[in-house]
Amino acid sequence: MAIVLPAFKKDKLTEREQLEFLEYLAMSLKNGLSLAESLQVMPALWSKRQRLLRKLTYLMEQGVNFSQILRQMGFGKTIASQVDLAMMQGNLNECLNQLVIINRLKEEQLKKLKAELSYPITLFVLMIFMLLFMQNFLNGQLGQEDGTANLVFAILIVVASVLSAGVTRIVILLKRQDYKALKALLRYPIVGKITQLYVFYMLSSEFGMMLGAGFSFPEICKLFANQEDGSLQEQLGRKMLKQFEAGKSIGDIIRGEAFLPDNLLLFIETGAERKELGLKCTILANGFFRDLTQGLERLIVNVQPICFIFIGICIIGMYLKMLMPMYALMQSM
């Protein structure tokens, strides 16, 4: 008999709560508790989510897959698939620790980004109101409209709207984190490189654990292909399986896939055993994590100067908006 999952609507976790949940769960597993025992203990550790945690315990007792429960709680498809694969290998604790590290890094960098953007955004909003005020005031005072000034104003509004739409689109894609969303993020400058490093880190870690457990690449692809529809692992697994069945080598597959790091080729060409290859993939993942951290820090440092350059251009536009009608009026006198 199929188990119907209840709608969690009010029990969807925020990103901060997702991190807390992973931290509590990782801590319980580290202390020797099983997954079921950890969920039973967690209500005492996380009192504000007692109702949700009791519901999770009940669903686990009914035989519901833990990755399905994570999806209902608001976790992305890719993270749910990571956890599911880790449970198959018996590496859940290691997987949770990695997820805690990467999500904590994301939270810290988002805090820094918000702090860096708070002043430029406030300044930009005030400037938009000033532009609107000047548009109405000058038209009323001078009794005529200047086409060039209106063009400058229109360009500034269009540029601001495009930038706002772009940022909103990136935020939505980052929240989804499925295969299509991650693929779309690769097309954005700067953000695309950060996204690629994140995926390289995640997949290298998974390859490291699974190769270390004795799986071959075709076997890993089969496990990936059985994950939740639309997740990074499921889409990548299906794609790689088709290429294996078509007779392509693992080297050719890696070269043709944007989400697979070319560094893997160096390890595969050495002909190392699976456990040794798994260890090398884990070392490679640590390198990608370092590059990801440095890339995020550079992004945070550079974002405020870029904002101020744009604001400077807008200020020049404001002066043009104010002075051009006056200049046109003086010429007509």
Number of folded domains that form the chain = 2
Tell which residue, 217, 181, 11, has the closest CA to residue 79. 181
pTM above 0.85, yes or no: no
* Shared domain check, 225 and 287: yes
98: in domain = no
Residue 52, domain extent? 9-75
pLDDT at 262 over 60: yes
* Shared domain check, 239 and 137: yes
* Shared domain check, 206 and 124: yes
* Shared domain check, 271 and 159: yes
* Shared domain check, 119 and 263: yes
316: in domain = yes
What is the pLDDT, as a whole number, of residue 152?
A: 66
pLDDT, greater one: 8 or 308: 308
* Shared domain check, 124 and 24: no
286: in domain = yes
Q: Each residue of 118-166: pLDDT tens digit?
A: 877 787 778 777 777 766 766 666 555 555 556 766 777 788 788 888 8
What is the pLDDT, as a whole number, of residue 196?
A: 93
For the ranges 79-83, 193-197, 201-205, 311-315, which has the lowest average pLDDT? 311-315
292: in domain = yes
Q: Each residue of 30-84: pLDDT tens digit?
A: 888 888 888 888 888 888 888 888 888 888 888 888 888 888 888 888 888 888 8
259: in domain = yes
CA 39 to chain centre: 27
83: in domain = no
* Shared domain check, 61 and 170: no
Question: Sorting pLDDT into bands at 50, 70 and 90, what band is 197?
Answer: very high
Q: Which long-range contacts (CB under 8 A, 24 or more apart) does 207-210 make?
A: 207/264, 207/278, 207/281, 208/278, 208/279, 208/280, 208/281, 208/282, 208/284, 208/285, 209/86, 209/89, 209/91, 209/94, 209/95, 209/278, 209/282, 210/85, 210/89, 210/278
Q: Each residue of 294-327: pLDDT tens digit?
A: 988 888 888 878 878 877 877 777 777 667 666 6
Last residue of a domain, one of 56, 75, 94: 75
Tell which residue, 208, 175, 172, has the closest CA to residue 284. 208
Indicate the DSSP class of residue 333. -
* Shared domain check, 223 and 123: yes
Last residue of a domain, one of 57, 75, 93: 75
Last residue of a domain, one of 26, 59, 75: 75
Compute φ and ψ for 4, nearest 5 degrees: -90, 125
How many residues are there in the chain? Answer: 333
Average pLDDT over residues 225-254: 89
pLDDT at 3 over 50: no
* Shared domain check, 58 and 171: no
* Shared domain check, 142 and 60: no
